[in-house]
Amino acid sequence: MKNTQNKSKLLLDIINEKCPKCAQGFVFTRTSSLIKLPVMHYKCENCAYIFEREPGYFLGAMYISYGLSVLQGIVAFLLINAAIPTLPIYLKSLITIGVILLCGRKNYKMSRVIYIHIFPW
Protein backbone atom coordinates (compact mmCIF):
# COMPACT_ATOMS: atom_id res chain seq x y z
CA MET A 1 0.00 0.00 0.00
CA LYS A 2 2.81 2.43 0.89
CA ASN A 3 4.52 1.80 -2.46
CA THR A 4 1.35 2.79 -4.30
CA GLN A 5 1.13 6.01 -2.27
CA ASN A 6 4.75 6.84 -3.12
CA LYS A 7 4.11 6.29 -6.83
CA SER A 8 0.98 8.43 -6.82
CA LYS A 9 2.80 11.19 -4.90
CA LEU A 10 5.67 11.04 -7.39
CA LEU A 11 3.23 11.27 -10.29
CA LEU A 12 1.49 14.27 -8.69
CA ASP A 13 4.85 15.96 -8.06
CA ILE A 14 5.77 15.52 -11.72
CA ILE A 15 2.41 16.79 -12.98
CA ASN A 16 2.56 19.79 -10.64
CA GLU A 17 6.19 20.45 -11.68
CA LYS A 18 7.56 20.22 -8.14
CA CYS A 19 11.14 19.88 -6.91
CA PRO A 20 12.34 16.23 -6.76
CA LYS A 21 14.03 16.76 -3.39
CA CYS A 22 11.46 18.62 -1.25
CA ALA A 23 8.31 18.46 -3.43
CA GLN A 24 7.48 22.02 -2.31
CA GLY A 25 9.19 24.41 -4.73
CA PHE A 26 8.34 24.74 -8.40
CA VAL A 27 10.80 23.88 -11.17
CA PHE A 28 9.42 26.52 -13.57
CA THR A 29 8.35 30.09 -12.99
CA ARG A 30 4.61 30.68 -13.04
CA THR A 31 3.67 32.84 -16.02
CA SER A 32 0.45 33.31 -17.91
CA SER A 33 2.10 34.10 -21.24
CA LEU A 34 1.53 31.48 -23.91
CA ILE A 35 4.00 33.03 -26.34
CA LYS A 36 7.19 32.98 -24.25
CA LEU A 37 9.15 29.80 -23.60
CA PRO A 38 8.87 28.51 -20.04
CA VAL A 39 11.60 29.78 -17.73
CA MET A 40 13.19 27.30 -15.38
CA HIS A 41 14.39 28.32 -11.93
CA TYR A 42 18.12 27.87 -11.34
CA LYS A 43 17.45 26.30 -7.94
CA CYS A 44 14.51 25.37 -5.74
CA GLU A 45 13.01 28.27 -3.82
CA ASN A 46 12.42 26.02 -0.81
CA CYS A 47 15.45 23.73 -0.43
CA ALA A 48 18.04 25.29 -2.82
CA TYR A 49 18.22 22.09 -4.91
CA ILE A 50 20.01 23.02 -8.15
CA PHE A 51 17.98 22.14 -11.25
CA GLU A 52 20.46 23.17 -13.96
CA ARG A 53 23.39 20.80 -13.41
CA GLU A 54 25.65 21.50 -16.38
CA PRO A 55 25.40 22.69 -19.99
CA GLY A 56 23.66 20.04 -22.07
CA TYR A 57 22.21 18.22 -19.07
CA PHE A 58 18.67 18.33 -20.46
CA LEU A 59 19.63 16.90 -23.83
CA GLY A 60 18.20 13.58 -22.68
CA ALA A 61 14.88 15.26 -21.91
CA MET A 62 14.36 15.64 -25.66
CA TYR A 63 13.83 11.89 -25.92
CA ILE A 64 11.13 12.07 -23.25
CA SER A 65 9.49 15.00 -25.05
CA TYR A 66 9.58 13.06 -28.31
CA GLY A 67 7.96 10.05 -26.64
CA LEU A 68 5.22 12.20 -25.12
CA SER A 69 4.52 13.81 -28.51
CA VAL A 70 4.33 10.47 -30.29
CA LEU A 71 2.00 9.07 -27.62
CA GLN A 72 -0.26 12.13 -27.83
CA GLY A 73 -0.30 11.95 -31.62
CA ILE A 74 -1.23 8.27 -31.66
CA VAL A 75 -3.97 8.72 -29.05
CA ALA A 76 -5.36 11.79 -30.84
CA PHE A 77 -5.41 10.02 -34.20
CA LEU A 78 -7.06 6.90 -32.80
CA LEU A 79 -9.72 8.95 -30.99
CA ILE A 80 -10.46 11.01 -34.10
CA ASN A 81 -10.57 7.86 -36.21
CA ALA A 82 -12.97 6.17 -33.78
CA ALA A 83 -15.20 9.24 -33.37
CA ILE A 84 -15.37 10.34 -37.02
CA PRO A 85 -14.29 7.45 -39.27
CA THR A 86 -15.55 9.16 -42.44
CA LEU A 87 -13.32 12.22 -42.00
CA PRO A 88 -10.67 12.44 -44.76
CA ILE A 89 -7.21 11.32 -43.73
CA TYR A 90 -5.62 14.72 -44.38
CA LEU A 91 -8.02 16.34 -41.89
CA LYS A 92 -7.30 13.63 -39.32
CA SER A 93 -3.58 14.30 -39.81
CA LEU A 94 -4.02 18.07 -39.49
CA ILE A 95 -6.01 17.68 -36.28
CA THR A 96 -3.37 15.30 -34.91
CA ILE A 97 -0.59 17.77 -35.74
CA GLY A 98 -2.63 20.51 -34.08
CA VAL A 99 -2.96 18.44 -30.89
CA ILE A 100 0.80 17.83 -30.85
CA LEU A 101 1.51 21.55 -31.33
CA LEU A 102 -0.95 22.54 -28.61
CA CYS A 103 0.72 20.13 -26.17
CA GLY A 104 4.26 21.22 -27.10
CA ARG A 105 4.70 23.76 -24.30
CA LYS A 106 3.53 21.32 -21.63
CA ASN A 107 5.69 18.57 -23.15
CA TYR A 108 8.74 20.81 -22.87
CA LYS A 109 8.11 21.39 -19.19
CA MET A 110 7.03 17.84 -18.38
CA SER A 111 10.01 16.25 -20.12
CA ARG A 112 12.45 18.32 -18.05
CA VAL A 113 10.62 17.62 -14.80
CA ILE A 114 10.47 13.89 -15.57
CA TYR A 115 14.17 13.92 -16.42
CA ILE A 116 15.04 15.65 -13.14
CA HIS A 117 12.98 13.07 -11.24
CA ILE A 118 14.62 10.16 -13.08
CA PHE A 119 18.16 11.42 -12.46
CA PRO A 120 18.14 13.21 -9.08
CA TRP A 121 21.35 14.46 -7.57
- Cβ-contact 114, 67 below 8 angstroms: no
- Cβ-contact 28, 38 below 8 angstroms: yes
Strand-pairing partners, residue 18, are: 26
**DSSP for residue 42:** S
Strand-pairing partners, residue 58, are: none
- Cβ-contact 90, 37 below 8 angstroms: no
Each residue's pLDDT, cut to its tens digit, for the chain (121 residues) gives 456 667 788 889 899 999 988 889 999 988 777 778 888 988 999 898 998 888 888 899 999 999 999 999 999 999 999 999 999 999 999 999 999 999 999 999 999 999 998 887 6
Tally of CB atoms within 10 A around 44 = 20
Whole-prediction pTM value?
0.83
- Cβ-contact 99, 68 below 8 angstroms: no
pLDDT at 96: 96
